[in-house]
Amino acid sequence: MTEAPRPDEPVIIRDKRKIDRPKDEQAAAGTTEVPAAPAAGSDEAAALQAQLDERTADLQRLQAEYANYRKRAERERLAAGDLAVGRALGDFLPVLDDIERARQHGDLTGGLKAIADQLELAFSKLGLEAFGEPGDPFDPTVHEAVMHNESDEVSVPTCTTVMRKGYRHGDRLLRPAMVGVTDPATPTAPAGEAETPIGDEPSDNEANE
């Protein structure tokens, strides 16, 4: 027996019939459409590429600067080392002068000669180079002339006497050679200037013509 509803109770009607809806409406009712994410704009991509190019250029510049710094530091290190070696070799030049004088007088014999040969070989390995021999053309940049004479046997100023050898270390001059210089006795006329025989000078009248 169905209980009659009370007057103050609301009436609820349940419709259990199946209602067919169109597929489009079912899909619209059960699926929420998600809008597509907007694609990156060309301006944003260009800005990112510009930043990447700038960072790459900065990195390349830093690498080049570091490479140049290393080369410069290496050159300075080598130059400082050469300078120190040159200064040390300069302190031994008087010793080499004594060895050369002993050799010229025939006093460099026996054990002393062996020591002198080893010392000169060691200095040679360090880059010390002696110069200044009789017959060398005179060069004021590396020769110190302390004596002059003239002779017909030379055509240019020539070192004919070497009082003290000069020394260089690499491109650095440690000491000039002390030499005696022989100059040509008869100066050579400049090219293109012919000598006028005596008695053939043009007269004043001929010169005016």
Closest-CA residue to 92 (of 122, 113, 114):
122
Residue 104 placed within a domain: no
Residue 149 placed within a domain: yes
CATH number for the domain spanning 170: value is: 2.30.22.10
> For residue 140, is pLDDT > 90?
yes
> For residue 107, is pLDDT > 70?
yes
Cβ neighbours of residue 136 closer than 8 Å, sequence gap 6 or more: 143, 158, 159, 179
| Residue-wise burial string across 137-164, b where 16 or more C-beta atoms lie within 10 A, e elsewhere | ebeeebbebeeeeeeeebeebbbbebeb
Six token digits for residue 2: 């169905």
Across residues 80-97, what is the average pLDDT?
93
Residue 96 placed within a domain: no
Residue 153 placed within a domain: yes
pLDDT, tens digit, 9 for 90 and up, residues 64-78: 999 999 999 999 998
Six token digits for residue 157: 């100023």
pLDDT of 209 reads 47
**Could you write out the DSSP letters of every residue in 159-202?**
EEEEEE-EEEETTEEEEPEEEEEEEESSPPPPTT-PPPPTT-PP
108 pLDDT tier (thresholds 50, 70, 90) = confident
Across residues 31-57, what is the average pLDDT?
73
- In the chain, the amino acid numbered 131 is F
Question: What is the extent of the structural domain holding 155?
Answer: 129-186
Across residues 35-55, what is the average pLDDT?
75
Residue 46 placed within a domain: no
pLDDT of 30 reads 53
Residue 159 placed within a domain: yes
Residue 87 placed within a domain: no
End-to-end CA gap in the chain: 169
pLDDT, tens digit, 9 for 90 and up, residues 7-36: 555 656 665 555 555 555 555 555 555 555
Split into its structural domains, the chain has a count of 1
Cα distances (angstroms) measured from residue 29 to each of 16, 18, 33, 124, 181: 20, 16, 10, 101, 118
Residue 85 placed within a domain: no
